[in-house]
Amino acid sequence: MIAMTSTTDAAPALRLSGIDMHYGFVRALDQIDFHVMNGEVVALLGDNGAGKSTLLKVMSGAHQPTAGTIEVHGREVEFPSPSAATHAGIQMVYQDLALVEAQDIATNLTLGREILRKPPLGWLGFVDKKAQRMRSQADLDRLGVRTAAMTRPVEMLSGGQRQVVALARSATRVSGERSGVMLLDEPTAALGYEQTKQVESLIMRMADDGIACVLVTHNLPLAMEVSSRFVVLNRGRKYADIPKSEASPEALVGWITGARPSMFA
Ligand SMILES: Nc1ncnc2c1ncn2[C@@H]1O[C@H](COP(=O)(O)OP(=O)(O)OP(=O)(O)O)[C@@H](O)[C@H]1O
């Protein structure tokens, strides 16, 4: 259920306040405040077990927080399920796990937004494969993504190519939505140089289109390249919130390893 309060355009695309999350006796998140504006890429950094994935799962409706509130464009919301978050314009990239192996790239890119053939075949649910291929290719061209031929089944793609297709699919779903928020969990894990560069430019293009992006990654060069702000978690607490102008790789490593004192304790 989505509870509505007032909305303002200056409000963050997504804001979390006072978020606690427990796994049994483990306190994975402790009073986390977080926000991301439209057109901003926020890197969520931290050592193993810091709470990054848990926070992303709270944002995507996969986990319900023990305490705290979530707002989308100034409206207080509740995400009892991932579909409630998707309905509010929040897309989580599930990488290759959510692709349909036996189907081709175009079919995967248009899942849930199929183009039907003209009636009467369209009334019976027959899809227009040619139109789907053309739209998928146009979407990928617009996003600057190059993969295999649109007719290639996903099961014949490399792990890296699958990741790029999954990311592109989320990008096409979220683009054009005023409140679009993209959640990316390690989007370049297992990617080669060329595909990592494609993912970098895809993230920057989404931000240019006004999409709010939250990037969880251990890949500091990627984070430095695309992010406008860096939020560091440490043992479930927000440890630092650093604008790009103050961030250097050395400083970020210092915050991640806990060597520097907290600005926000
Ligand atoms: N399903 C679970 N059950 C119990 N504890 C969990 C579960 N998932 C995560 N945790 C614990 O919650 C804390 C935060 O884990 P989380 O996966 O969010 O960290 P992370 O920052 O994403 O780590 P990594 O970089 O290693 O993926 C850790 O102490 C972890 O052991």
CA of residue 259 to ligand 1 center, whole Å: 21
Measured distance CA(133)–CA(87) in Å, rounded: 26
pLDDT, block means (10 residues), the chain with 265 residues? 45 96 94 96 95 95 96 94 91 74 90 84 83 90 84 88 84 70 88 85 88 93 95 95 91 84 45
CA of residue 42 to ligand 1 center, whole Å: 20
* Unique residue bearing structure tokens 């075949």: 121
202 phi and psi, to 5 degrees? -65, -45
DSSP letter, residue 14: E
97 phi and psi, to 5 degrees? -60, -30
Task: Name the residue of 30, 52, 59, 183 to mutate for ligand 1: max ligand atoms within 8 A of Cβ.
Answer: 52
Domains, in order of start, for the chain: 14-98+178-257 (3.40.50.300)
* Ligand 1 atom nearest to 26, measured from its CA: 5
Torsion angle in degrees (nearest 10) through CA of 59, 103, 116, 182: 20
* Tokens describing residue 167: 């990311």
In order, the DSSP letters of 173-207 are HHTT-TT-EEEEESTTTT--HHHHHHHHHHHHHHH
* Residues near 193 by beta carbon (within 8 Å), at least 6 away in sequence: none
pLDDT at 179: 60
3-state helix, strand, coil in the chain (%, to 5): 35, 25, 40
CB 53 within 8 A of CB 242: no
pLDDT at 33: 98
Residues β-bridged to residue 67: 20
